[in-house]
Structure 1
């Protein structure tokens, strides 16, 4: 049932993506199993402007914001709609998902986000392995960061890999794989590393145990400069607890002793979890919350319309708000 709940988000892209490009296999950045899944009105406050990975050492230093998933449209040559985004000043940060192979486009996306005054999180997003337990895939993400962080311009926060780890992975296996991948990233980056918790961002107990240890001799994540990221949708399911997610899962993740955020949240994708109540609860605890999605979703969770248009230097495209816009914006 869970797998039928959350595959839309990234599956969202699958739809538009497979039809338009036919290059990638969008398996769905699930939210519970089947889904997955981008500020200021002319002026961003001085306090927020320029606050990047170099100064953001805790989740509390990251402003609330939106996700962008441009890799799967116009072969990545996308106009990201900065003019409209800057008119909506509650958006302080952007989380940009990058499919490997989109490095050239990503360098421009990141540069534009920074020049427009937003805090930037960049996520390695390999659509064909969402929810995978393959340690080699996570290590490949770490190596990708080692090879590309500097050439992408640096000065942003690294989200090591989008939604790696299934509902079934053990705390030890999750920790062991992340220890190896984090070591690769640390060769080029000393800032806080965001890591998505397993089960498409929903296995809070597994992630907490991977950090603090819940059994004798268990492997734990050794790097302390990490931020745990949960993803919340209506179909969000905590398999370890045998139920849909609720606010207690926010406290459970916080028990890890590490900073925590909601790296994604949205109102579509199954049913069973009070996504709105969970998001409010996390925000009230001081967690950063990042909505899905400014644009790039293939199943209806887009804050702007039309879908990403082709980028033309010096000729920014015009976008308007969708009916979904306020669903996300009002939470920020």
Structure 2
């Protein structure tokens, strides 16, 4: 009897210990996320990037470029940022970029350019230093997972010691998650982004598995290394066969290292449902000015490269689809939001907002965004979850009021503290899922 009881106790202890030491399940991704080879929005709709890069860090005054890029039908813009290797973009500047992305209904891939060519180019930062930068601007990115992708570091290793990419990238992803970033993460290949030694291709599976949220997309830059259809297809096939998500994070029509086959790049991206982001809007120097898509940031002055990527076969105008997060598209769902001030006093006010499904199909969730006047802060809310990024506030439905039939409505409210005066929130944007 004693012996049997001892065995039973030992078995019970063994079971309890195994439960305690079992790895915790991965956290569910929020906002944009990967599923197999695809990128999905929070509502499950597939999203395919069709966009261009914009060299914001060197041209911070060219904020009109966001609207110009959108007007040419892009659904994505990749924004160049720096933590100090070039003119630094602090949290307030990043918050403004985030606001421009939202206003212009663009998915924004924010990339730290400091890491470009590490190990080969003097002054380049490590991926670890890139994570330090993202930590410093994290306040500007809170609650933006639906439309912001964090590209941890541009072309993080040159042609020297490319094999170090795997450990450096895995560590960077781990640190980003430990810091609380829940965004879709994008990681660039070594070899100046072109992966001609296939370090990223051959280690992508292990890097993807190391992300606790399983929410990392890989980015290949296609220039002179990818000058034939055979090379392009072989690389894309490898990721497709592995079931891993890939985007062409940069490419051009010409380059100092060779002549990329942009026709195949764009055709294959379209046929496979892969995103592409061309380099770059305007402002190139150093002998690669031919990569400007417009002259002197003038949207009316498209270059031959600009005509090709925006208006050519398999180009942005013909293949781009706006994220449903901004338009409430997909299945006939759409919504509007309106707010009314219920009471106010010198130091604050209370708003009641109404969300209405204006589409022809039911929606299962809604997101309302609005901008607080300068100096105003959220003091409390009800019937919605509110997050703030600078003065931009995002309100998401609660678990009990997201389902709205066609024509249906619901409400939420919030209280605002202000330094004085009579200003209140004046406009609202709604997106349905």
TM-score interval w.r.t. the shorter chain?
0.5 to 0.7
Q: Which has the larger radius of gyration?
A: 2
Q: Aligned residue pairs: how many?
A: 254
1:116 is matched with: 104
Call closer, same or farther: CA 1:165–1:257 in 2, change over 3 Å.
farther
Call closer, same or farther: CA 1:54–1:212 in 2, change over 3 Å.
closer
Task: Write the distance in 1 (CA, Å) between the matches of 2:169 and 2:155.
Answer: 12
Task: Write the distance in 2 (CA, Å) between the matches of 1:78 and 1:273.
Answer: 28
Task: Write the distance in 2 (CA, Å) between the matches of 1:177 and 1:136.
Answer: 12
Give the alignment of 1:189-204 within 5 angstroms.
189-203=181-195
User: Does structure 1 residue 150 correspond to structure 2 residue 130?
Assistant: no
2:245 is matched with: 259
2:31 is matched with: 55
Aligned counterpart in structure 2 of residue 226 of structure 1, from 203, 209, 216? 216
User: Does structure 1 residue 292 correspond to structure 2 residue 253?
Assistant: no
2:307 is matched with: 326
1:15 is matched with: none
Q: What secondary structure, in the 3-state scheme, does the structure 1 residue paired with 2:31 have?
A: coil
Deviations 1:261-290 (A, max 9, x none): 011111120325423213321331111111
Unaligned runs of 5+ in 2: 1-28, 40-45, 317-433
Measured after TM superposition, the shift of residue 88 of structure 1 is: 2.0
Asked if structure 1 preserves the Cα contact closer than 8 Å seen for 2:54 and 2:77, the reply is: yes
Call closer, same or farther: CA 1:85–1:130 in 2, change over 3 Å.
closer
Aligned counterpart in structure 1 of residue 70 of structure 2, from 64, 79, 86? 86
1:166 is matched with: 158
Larger RCO (CA under 8 A, 6+ residues apart): 1
Asked if structure 1 preserves the Cα contact closer than 8 Å seen for 2:94 and 2:137, the reply is: no
Give the alignment of 1:16-31 within 5 angstroms.
none
Task: Write the distance in 2 (CA, Å) between the matches of 1:195 and 1:63.
Answer: 15
Deviations 1:225-267 (A, max 9, x none): 210001112x1269xxxxx943212212434432100111111
Task: Write the distance in 1 (CA, Å) between the matches of 2:284 and 2:210.
Answer: 34
Aligned counterpart in structure 2 of residue 138 of structure 1, from 127, 131, 137? 127
Task: Write the distance in 1 (CA, Å) between the matches of 2:271 and 2:219.
Answer: 16
Q: What secondary structure, in the 3-state scheme, does the structure 1 residue paired with 2:248 have?
A: strand
Aligned counterpart in structure 2 of residue 304 of structure 1, from 288, 294, 298? 294
Give the alignment of 1:168-187 within 5 angstroms.
168-171=160-163, 173-186=164-177, 187=179
1:77 is matched with: 61
Q: TM-score, normalised by structure 2?
A: 0.53
1:208 is matched with: 201
Task: Write the distance in 2 (CA, Å) between the matches of 1:82 and 1:54.
Answer: 25
RMSD of aligned Cα (Å) = 2.9
Asked if structure 1 preserves the Cα contact closer than 8 Å seen for 2:226 and 2:261, the reply is: no
Call closer, same or farther: CA 1:82–1:226 in 2, change over 3 Å.
closer
Aligned counterpart in structure 2 of residue 236 of structure 1, from 211, 225, 229? 225
Call closer, same or farther: CA 1:295–1:273 in 2, change over 3 Å.
closer
Call closer, same or farther: CA 1:236–1:110 in 2, change over 3 Å.
farther
Call closer, same or farther: CA 1:83–1:176 in 2, change over 3 Å.
closer
Asked if structure 2 preserves the Cα contact closer than 8 Å seen for 1:64 and 1:290, the reply is: yes
Asked if structure 1 preserves the Cα contact closer than 8 Å seen for 2:252 and 2:260, the reply is: no
Task: Write the distance in 2 (CA, Å) between the matches of 1:175 and 1:82.
Answer: 34
Call closer, same or farther: CA 1:190–1:84 in 2, change over 3 Å.
closer
Asked if structure 1 preserves the Cα contact closer than 8 Å seen for 2:251 and 2:262, the reply is: yes
Call closer, same or farther: CA 1:88–1:195 in 2, change over 3 Å.
same
Asked if structure 1 preserves the Cα contact closer than 8 Å seen for 2:79 and 2:110, the reply is: yes
1:27 is matched with: none
Asked if structure 2 preserves the Cα contact closer than 8 Å seen for 1:138 and 1:178, the reply is: yes
Task: Write the distance in 2 (CA, Å) between the matches of 1:94 and 1:273.
Answer: 21
